[in-house]
Structure 1
Amino acid sequence: MDISVWLALLALFFAGGLTPGPAVMMVMSASLRYRAPTAMIPALGVSTANLLWISLAATGIAAFAAQLPVVLTALKIAGLCFIVWLAWTMATADPHRPRARAEQAPARANLFGRGIALQLLNPNALVFFGLLLPSYFDHEKPVLPQALIIMATVTVTEMLGLTFYAWLADAMNQRLQSPVFSRWFNRLAAAAMVGSAAFAAVMTTTA
């Protein structure tokens, strides 16, 4: 992979990692409830799902599927339904309950699985990995080394962004310690999550 292509890829996913979307909202909400270290469990789920997306992009399957209207529509509907459900659970969470400790959090597999499911069904991921990422592969060169470089780059940038937001939410919660703040943050995060996914869904329609 040429250094210029890698720098362009780094800029794309670094900006994407810092842009609040469904994954960021999920991690921040988990951080408010369980603290930042536990919030990194769904973050790892998101990064794991990214590896599958990159594999699909490397083989051309993601780009091929993105050109099939029926597949594209099914993915968008499933993704939006799942994100709306997640947003509803966030918006209706009881802010008066004491913050749960890590050992009282839902099973780690559940948090990890939510992160994977969110990213696999996330219309934002479809835009990045199905429509944008395939253009960064040079198919005249071996695909595997390029895929490994992209996996490492995307994982590092994604985790940096999610870690930043997890600790930011944790710091805000520790400073304010207000049920009212938690309630309104979760409601705004839920709205942002749905709005971001809906916007991405429209983009895939018009792309």
Structure 2
Amino acid sequence: MNALPVDPQLYLAYLGTMLVMAFTPGPANVFAVATGMQRGKGAALLAVAGMNTATFVWYCAAALGLGALVKAFPEVFRIISYGGIIYVVWLGVQAIRHALKAKDKALDTPVLDKARNAYLSGFLVQIANPKAILFFTAVLPPFLDIDRPPVPQLALFAVATLGLDTIAMSAYGLGGAAFARHMSSARFQRMFGIGVGVLLLTAAILMASRL
């Protein structure tokens, strides 16, 4: 009987893989940047919490065999994914419209403040992110040791996944917030609003490209 809950070599290999994937720019990290730029570090961290809640949901679903269900009923998965993409596109278009309509006064009512709260927005973005379910159904299985109990392995892999995702997304979100704090004029704020919209539309494109 194996004394350790996971194979050390497999776990280290998974950590390396997850580290690269967590910091690779994708829909979640782009959304974290956009939220930090327009709403500040507090909202960015709430968005990160929402996205990681969705990641945990996908992780549990994959562990329970949802991956096979998704493969059997791909249309359901596509409906969920396209719904999230449309939501992110809507946020991006609203951000650009808000910036273009602004007068010379400061933009003190960001469009994301008028949308859903940051936590729920982050959750909706990640729950519709095809990368999440594809990762847990395709990338995770090779790192599992069939000779060891699955539950302890899945628990340790979940800790690694959520921990590295939180670090990466938070870094992106706080970076966006720090950059935004250097702006003061209405012109720069207007350009930032457009930049936020472009980032959100980029996130939507990244999400769609993974379908």
TM-score, normalized by length of structure 2? 0.80
User: How much has 1:42 moved relative to structure 2?
Assistant: 1.0
1:189 to 199, 202, 206: 199
CA shift in 2, pair 1:120/1:183, >3 Å: same
153-162 or 82-91: bigger deviation = 82-91
- The alignment partner of 2:182 has SS state of helix
148-157 or 68-77: bigger deviation = 68-77
Q: Distance in 1 between matches of 2:94 and 2:146?
A: 43
Q: Distance in 2 between matches of 1:17 and 1:187?
A: 23
- Residue 58 of structure 1 contacts residue 143 of structure 1 at CA under 8 Å; is this kept in 2? no
User: How much has 1:82 moved relative to structure 2?
Assistant: 2.8
- Between the two proteins, the alignment pairs up a number of residues equal to 196
Alignment RMSD: 2.5
Structure 1 residue 52 corresponds to structure 2 residue 53? no
CA shift in 2, pair 1:77/1:98, >3 Å: closer
1:115 to 114, 122, 128: 122
Q: Deviations over 1:114-162 (max 9, x none)?
A: 2112111112223222332233333442221112111111111111111
Q: Name structure 1 gaps, 5 residues minimum.
A: 202-207
Aligned-residue sequence identity (percent) comes to 21
Q: Deviations over 1:61-98 (max 9, x none)?
A: 22441353333433333333233233333433437412
Larger radius of gyration: 2
- Residue 37 of structure 2 contacts residue 176 of structure 2 at CA under 8 Å; is this kept in 1? yes
TM-score, normalized by length of structure 1? 0.81
- Counterpart residue identity of residue 183, structure 1: G
Q: Name structure 2 gaps, 5 residues minimum.
A: 1-5
47-56 or 182-191: bigger deviation = 182-191
Q: Distance in 2 between matches of 1:38 and 1:69?
A: 33
